Amino acid sequence: MRVGLFGMITSLRSIACLAALGCGAAPSSSSTVAPVTTTHVVVTPLGNDVYAAVRTEPLGLAVNSNSVFIVNDDHVVVVDAQFTRAATLETLAALRRITRKPVRFVINSHPHFDHASGLQAAVAEGATILTHRNNEPVLERFLSGPRTLTGDSLAKVTNRRNDVVQGIGDRDVRRGTNNKVVELHHVPNEHSDGMLVVHLPAEKVLWSADVTVVNPNPTQLATLRAVHTATSRFDYTAFIPAHPPNPDRPLTKADVTSAVGN
């Protein structure tokens, strides 16, 4: 196991504490199965029925996105897919170590290839993709059009759905049957005009794609500032970026604020 990508187990346990799970406290029955370690994914609880799924590939292969699992009474919401079908299947296999509940929704942060190519695997299992309405037309064409490549997940589905993408507006709140709240916020920026960030208010977690908090260059700083401006009023403790590199400790709101110079 490689330890430097996200602090791995130690840092993820710290994130769980920061996210108000409580170090030393007895976890819920849903949280006792984590951390779970597979070949390329480590899953650790962030709170009751919420998990971080962090990739462990070497930095040169770090195009695969870190995900979040939100487990509801009868379904699961997954935050982001990965760069490839195989990597997304690995993420879904890690989820199955925690629960057998079906994945009803996958939140697509934005339609760049490293966050969208693996969506086929989730759609083939019956998931609906939630994305900002700016991204809906391209993802609908991508996921509903002909699929003829050998090994393609959707090429194996006989009765394919045509309504696999659900475009949402600038703010969307999903509440599960167990009252689990997932907030989706549109943060347009230089990187993508259709980017969504995910806020979990109960767990005090903010997840964002393609934001560099550690020594951002000028281009990265512009995206980081856009995310910070849109989310600075949120009450979050743990910040989870989609990609490494990250320090060997969990990132916090204070880190984001410091990085933008506020």
User: Could you tell me the CATH number of the domain that includes residue 137?
Assistant: 3.60.15.10
- Per the structure, how many domains does the chain have? 1
Is residue 6 scored above 60 in pLDDT?
A: no
Residue 1 lies in a domain: no
Residue 155 lies in a domain: yes
Residue 128 lies in a domain: yes
Residue 13 lies in a domain: yes
Least confident of 96-105, 116-125, 241-250: 241-250
Single pTM value for the model: 0.86
Q: Which domain holds residue 142?
A: 8-259
Q: Mean pLDDT of all residues in the chain?
A: 84
Residue 192 lies in a domain: yes
Q: SS3 string of 91-149?
A: HHHHHHCCCCCCEEEEECCCCCHHHHCCHHHHHHCCCEEEEECCCHHHHHHHHHCCCCC
Residue 168 lies in a domain: yes
Residue 3 lies in a domain: no
Contact, 120 vs 145, CB < 8 A? Answer: no
Residue 2 lies in a domain: no
Using one digit for the tens of pLDDT, what is the confidence trace for 39-83? 889 999 998 899 999 988 776 556 788 999 999 999 999 999 999
Using one digit for the tens of pLDDT, what is the confidence trace for 127-167? 999 999 999 999 999 898 888 877 888 888 888 888 899 99
Q: Please count the CA atoms within 13 angstroms of the CA of 52 that sit on its side-chain side.
A: 35
